[in-house]
Amino acid sequence: MPHFTLYSRTWCHLCDDLLQALRSLIGDAVQIDVIDVDADPLLVEQYDELVPVLVGCRPGQPPERLCHYHLDEAAIRRFLGQLPAETGISPPESGKMQS
């Protein structure tokens, strides 16, 4: 089952905004793991000024960086549109998207 990982910071309002926008877009259909980059020096080195960073993950495939700073709804739609039909998850309907 695919899932998202959001690299975030506890004090980051852009991180909160991106997470809220993502949850509004996909609901509870896909798992979202939130990781505090400040808890790991290697993550700080990798993502420091880029947070929030949203990564999409599928079993057996490398993680895919989808967006940072703000939610890229087109990237999320493309990512979800590539899911196999048997997952039971449909891409969000364009009429229900908010910009």
For 50-85, what is each residue's pLDDT tens digit?
A: 999 999 999 899 999 999 999 999 999 899 886 444
By the 8 A CB rule, do 53 and 22 touch? no
Q: Which domain holds residue 36?
A: 3-96
What is the CATH classification number for the domain harbouring 76?
Answer: 3.40.30.10
What gap in Å lies between CA 69 and CA 59, rounded to an integer?
25
Give the angle 19-21-37 at the CA atoms, nearest 5°.
20
For 21-58, what is each residue's pLDDT tens digit?
A: 999 999 888 899 999 999 999 999 999 999 999 999 99
Percentage of the residues of the chain whose pLDDT score is greater than 90 = 70
Two structure tokens written together for 68: 């940072």
In the chain, the number of structural domains is 1
The closest alpha carbon to 19, from 43, 51, 65, 47, belongs to 51
pTM here is 0.80
